[in-house]
Structure 1
Amino acid sequence: MRHRPGSHAGLLAVGALVLAAAGTLAGCGSGDSPSSSASSASSAGPELKVTGAYMPAPSMDTMAAGFFTVTNSGGADTLTSVTSDLSDEVTMHATENGAMQEKKSFAVPAEGTLDFASGGNHLMFAKLTHKPEQGEKVSVELHFAKSGTVRISMPVKSATYNPKTGH
């Protein structure tokens, strides 16, 4: 068999396209099969990073709030609880339709973020051991279903602190 110059490169390109298409189609399925792309993606472990943590200086000595962002560059996880030396009663809340509702857990989406921000999801610290002052750092442990415990230091900012402006 005689090949024309350049035909070998063309065959390689066509072969690569066929393999790429086959790989793409193999990922498509009904979702019932354990080898579906959703199962494959979720089997990757979560890779969590917590940033922007802060606590506004509380106005009363019995309650405080806390905020942070969890960025996940891996598979899905769930924030199941939060503990702190500042309080034996740390609860997680969502603000839905203007009303605060306590939640037992929060999903941390695969390749996504979970935000705890003023006016939205937040932590509530009740029955404080002491009233934290601006400049203090509060030790907090975030407990995840798959990632285990992530310890963070939550700086106490001014009561009017806005992370968008830094004041």
Structure 2
Amino acid sequence: MRRIPAAMILAATATATATMLAGCSSGSTSADGGAGSASPSATTTSSGSASASTSPSASSSAACPLSVSDAWVKAADSGMSAAFGVVRNTSDAEVSITAAASPVSTMTQLHQTTMVDGSATMSEVSQLAVPASGDLTLAPGGNHIMFMGLTSPVQAGEDVPITLTCAGGGTIAFTAQARSYDGANESYEASTPAGM
């Protein structure tokens, strides 16, 4: 199993975040987009330091009291992909995820999937809420993290670094293993993100 150096994760996160902020400031609009397996993870605290971990979930600082388990990414040769898993809130207050970043794509968005005229349609949202002391399931056909403009193929078995940002500014970094999956082919609706 390949490990990603902490410096690469931090650099990729900074680049992806800058790209997302530039996209937001330019007035551009965009849209959204099963079972998982545990994978090794990296942990990043709100101070920005990172360390490798072999636990099946990621953990974070008090500024972002979330952990991620059963994380996986849909393998894809080009275009778009998505990340799934279970996000657990270890605090007694709701926590909102406001952004996601990964070096595998030029743009990363938070998505929900809704039924429109009998078809599943993805749309971007400004945040995903994780209930107090509860879980948010990211799954095909539901809420997920969308990777748009893949920088290279995401191959089955590959570890994909992902960083989530919480409303308070804290972050959590983890890895998700790519796997072959024929589903998650919802249509894409370009629009202004809900809640923005």
TM-score, normalization: structure 2? 0.55
Q: In the alignment, which residue of structure 2 is the partner of 1:51? A: 69
Change (3 A) 1:129 1:90: same
CA distance in 2, matches of 1:45, 1:125: 25
Q: In the alignment, which residue of structure 2 is the partner of 1:62? A: 79
1:146 to 168, 179, 184: 168
1:159 to 170, 181, 188: 181
Q: In the alignment, which residue of structure 1 is the partner of 2:107? A: 89
SS of 1:88 mapped into structure 2? strand
CA distance in 1, matches of 2:121, 2:146: 14
Q: Note the residue ranges of structure 2 that are not aligned, 5 or more in a row.
A: 1-61, 184-196
> How large is the RMSD of aligned CA atoms in angstroms?
2.0
Q: In the alignment, which residue of structure 2 is the partner of 1:72? A: 89
Q: Note the residue ranges of structure 1 that are not aligned, 5 or more in a row.
A: 1-43, 162-167
Q: In the alignment, which residue of structure 2 is the partner of 1:20? A: none
1:134 to 136, 139, 156: 156
Higher helix share: 1
SS of 1:69 mapped into structure 2? strand
Tell me the number of residue pairs that the alignment of Structure 1 and Structure 2 aligns.
117
Change (3 A) 1:45 1:61: closer
Shift of 1:120: 0.6
CA distance in 1, matches of 2:123, 2:79: 19
Bigger-Rg structure (1/2):
1
SS of 1:135 mapped into structure 2? coil
Change (3 A) 1:135 1:45: closer
